[in-house]
Amino acid sequence: DAGVIQSPRHEVTEMGQEVTLRCKPISGHDYLFWYRQTMMRGLELLIYFNNNVPIDDSGMPEDRFSAKMPNASFSTLKIQPSEPRDSAVYFCASSLARTGEDEQFFGPGTRLTVL
């Protein structure tokens, strides 16, 4: 398996534009997580899905952020409109649902810069 795949790897956009980040989890994994990492706040969980259903979106900073998982092999995180404070590295991760304490497999991340 190729691991968790994210695209794009880098995104530079201007304030007010819509940004869409994409993630393909590892085949067969039941959970998908979206994180944001900054120097100031570290790695923060934004939202996670179990079997394509959103379980907890309490980490989503505000209504400008939305996430979908239309099928088991694809998820998107959308920011509309984007703001400079959204600049960060966004990671997608996936895991199995065997024990409730399963390790998470992270993608390479998308580095977002909002000018």
- Alpha-carbon gap, residue 72 to 29, rounded angstroms: 8
Taking the complex as a whole, how short is the minimal distance between the CB of residue 115 and other proteins, in angstroms? 21
For other proteins, the closer CB: 46 or 79? 46
Q: Are strands 105-106 and 110-114 parallel, antiparallel or unpaired?
A: unpaired
Q: List residues bridging with 113 in a β-sheet.
A: 12
Rg (CA), the chain: 13
- Alpha-carbon gap, residue 99 to 50, rounded angstroms: 14
108 interacts with other proteins by CB under 8 A: yes
The structure tokens listed for 85 are 């404070």
102 interacts with other proteins by CB under 8 A: yes
For other proteins, the closer CB: 82 or 94? 94
Residue ranges in 42-71 that form contacts with other proteins under rule CB under 8 A: 42-43, 45, 48, 50, 55-56
Residue ranges in 15-34 that form contacts with other proteins under rule CB under 8 A: 31
For other proteins, the closer CB: 81 or 108? 108
